[in-house]
Structure formats: structure tokens, C-alpha cells
Amino acid sequence: MLKVKNVTKYYGDFKAVDNLSFEIKEGEIFGLLGVNGAGKTTTFRMIMGLLDKTEGEITLFGKKIDYSLTDYIGFLTEERSLLTKLTVFEQALFYGHLKGLDDTEIEKRLDEYLEKFKISEYKNKKIKELSKGNCQKVQFIMAILNKPKLLILDEPFSGLDPINVELFKKEILNLKKNGTIIIFSSHRMDHVEYFCDSLLILVKGESVLEGKLSKIKKDYRKKNIKIIGDVLKEELEDIKGVLKVEKNKNEFTVQIEDDLYIDCVFKYVSRCKNIIKFEVEEPTLNEIFIEKVGAKYDE
Ligand code: ATP
């Protein structure tokens, strides 16, 4: 279990992280989200022991994170962190040694992953000769070469084509299955919805929303109703509880302020003709994110 308890970080007078607490169990994927400058990288760096916290406590498996534990942590950063003059194999040796692995084990694991990610032919190529997507694959391999018990993934799919995104997704789910604690950060809410069991949204260093994804969605009272049929936009807009109506091709999306109002929309629709769709949907994480972050951001 990773425990972050009442952690605060000041850079000089500036409070970058404010009294942050969360816990992640083995085999769980946790989304740490926020707009640019919200404090995510600062939090990652404190978890990895690269940055001192001003207050609070961080423990992994009940122990403060020190050098004995960093061997079990993997980190995929948003910035390029590879040594571009080295070959992929030399880079793996460099990282592997830092994580306490011997040459034979490093090469065995590297060969396995290069094959999995279909880049075996690049083993002896210099990093600077690789494409952006292949560099991202090598960065990912470096982050998991030590078979981490805690893995931090910051925008892991950056620069990848859809086929390679699928390869990465499969491997991330494999790691989860093997019990790795995973922190996932991305501005792509569809990826967050796909992976994360729980999440936390940071705004200006402070948590504005935290919990299980399913519960966050259930608790969010606004819902969308999708309708196809002979309805009128203006009439839908006049119904009590309706916040917004959008039309895309022949489908209407009606946003209601609370699920209490589903009935009001249903009553109207039942008087209309040719209704072939009436579906109540959970809000997307994107909608929730924009509302929660927007409200706090404007303060
Ligand atoms: P992004 O999504 O853009 O990567 P982030 O959520 O990772 O952003 P951080 O990099 O943690 O955000 O930065 C949080 C805040 O702390 C920002 O306002 C940033 O300007 C500030 N900050 C970060 N590093 C330092 C530093 N070394 N000294 C002073 N301020 C810093």
C-alpha cells in the first residue's frame, strides 16, 4: 500500500501542494489529475524521494521511501529522460544497474520487452536515431525493467499511434494483474476512465474531488439523456431541470441538473412521435473534470 498523508510542499512562499492525502492498494490504478501547474509532478517527485516535502508523511508498504525502496519504483515522465547518445541496450544497462540488477538479468528482461513492443531491431541503435513513438516505448521499458511494485505513469501514451496505445494498455493491465501499484496521470479523460479504479483531481495543489470512479459518477447528479425522434429543441429546453440541449445529426443530448428530472423529460417525449431512442447516460469524466476544476479555477 502507498500512503500519502497530509503532505504539503512549499517552494519558498508558494504552496504547490496543500495537505494532500490518498492511499493506493496493490493492483490498483489511481488517477492523479489536474490542469497544468496543479502540483502533479511535485507530488510524484515527493513520492519518489527526489524532493523533500515541507510537511506530511509518505510510506510504501509501511516504510518511509528511501534508497532501499526506490529500486522497486518505476517512473515514466512526460519529459524525455533518456541519454540520447547511448544505444537502447547501453541505456538499459545504465538504468538496470541503478536499480540493482545484473547484466544477464537486464539483457534478458530487455530482450523480452523489446520483442513485446516489436522493436527488437533497435536494441543496438542510438536513442537519438529513434522516432518519438519508439523513444516512448524505450522510456516505458526502462520504467518497468525493474518490475516495479510502484509505477508512476505520467502521460504514458504521448506520441504513440493507436496500435501502440493498445500494446501499452495491455502491458499496464498485466502489471496491475501482478499487483503493481500504479499512479496514472493524463489529460486524456477517456484513458483515465478506461484504467482508473479511483482518482483524485488537484487544483492549485488542493484535492477538489477524490474517490472511486464509479461512485464519483453515481454521485454526480447531472445526467445526459440521448433522444432520437420528433422532438423540438426549444420545447426540450423549456422542461423543468433541463440545463442544456445539443443536437448532433438526428440525436439530441439533453443535460439535466438532477436525475429527479428524468421523468419530466420522459413525459414530454412520450407525447412525441417516432421516438426510437431514449437513453439516460452517466456523465463522462471529462464533464465532471471540467465542472469541478472550472469552478475552483475561476476563484
Ligand atoms: P503540468 O501538468 O504542467 O506538468 P503539474 O501539475 O505537474 O503541471 P507542478 O510541476 O507540480 O505541476 O507545479 C506545481 C506548481 O509549482 C506550479 O505553479 C509550478 O510553477 C510550481 N513549481 C514547480 N517546481 C517549482 C520550483 N522548483 N520552484 C518554484 N516553483 C515551482
**Ligand 1 pocket residue status of 38, Cβ below 6 Å:** yes
pLDDT at residue number 292: 81
Q: Is 16 in the pocket of ligand 1 (CB under 6 A)?
A: yes
pLDDT at 226 over 90: yes
Q: How much distance in Å is there from the Cα of 98 to the middle of ligand 1?
A: 26
Confidence of residue 31 (pLDDT cuts 50, 70, 90): very high
Rg (CA), the chain: 23
DSSP per-residue codes, 152-178: EEESTTTT--HHHHHHHHHHHHHHHHT
How far is Cα 149 from Cα 158, in angstroms, rounded to an integer? 23
Q: Is the CB of 41 under 6 A from ligand 1?
A: yes
Is the CB of 241 within 6 Å of ligand 1?
no
At 65 the pLDDT is 86
- Strands 273-281 vs 251-256: parallel, antiparallel or unpaired: unpaired
Q: Which of 9, 11, 200 to mutate to test ligand 1, by most ligand atoms within 8 A of the CB atom?
A: 11
Using the predicted structure, report yes or no on whether residue 229 has a pLDDT greater than 80: yes
* Residue whose CA lies nearest to ligand 1 atom number 21: 16
Q: What is the mean pLDDT of residues 210-218?
A: 91
Distance 52 CA to ligand 1 centre (A): 14
**pLDDT over threshold 70, residue 89:** yes
pLDDT at 295: 64
> In testing the pocket of ligand 1, which one of 15, 20, 40, 75 has its CB within 8 Å of the most ligand atoms?
40
CB-based contact 111:120 (threshold 8 Å): yes
158, pLDDT greater than 90 = no
Domains plus CATH for the chain?
2-217 (3.40.50.300), 221-282 (3.30.70.980)
Does ligand 1 have an atom closer than 6 angstroms to the CB of 294? no
**Residue 282, pLDDT above cutoff 70:** yes
DSSP one-letter code for 283:
P
Residue 33: pLDDT band by 50, 70, 90 thresholds?
Answer: very high
Cα(214) to centroid of ligand 1, in Å? 30
Which residue's C-alpha cell is 509518505? 58
Ligand 1 centroid distance, CA of 64 (Å): 24
pLDDT tens-digit map of 242-252: 999 999 999 99
User: In this predicted model, what pLDDT tens digit does every residue of 110-154 receive, in sequence order?
Assistant: 999 999 999 999 999 999 999 988 999 999 999 999 999 999 999
| Ligand 1 geometric centre to CA of 110 (Å) | 33
Say what the pLDDT of residue 297 is: 57
Q: Is 42 in the pocket of ligand 1 (CB under 6 A)?
A: yes
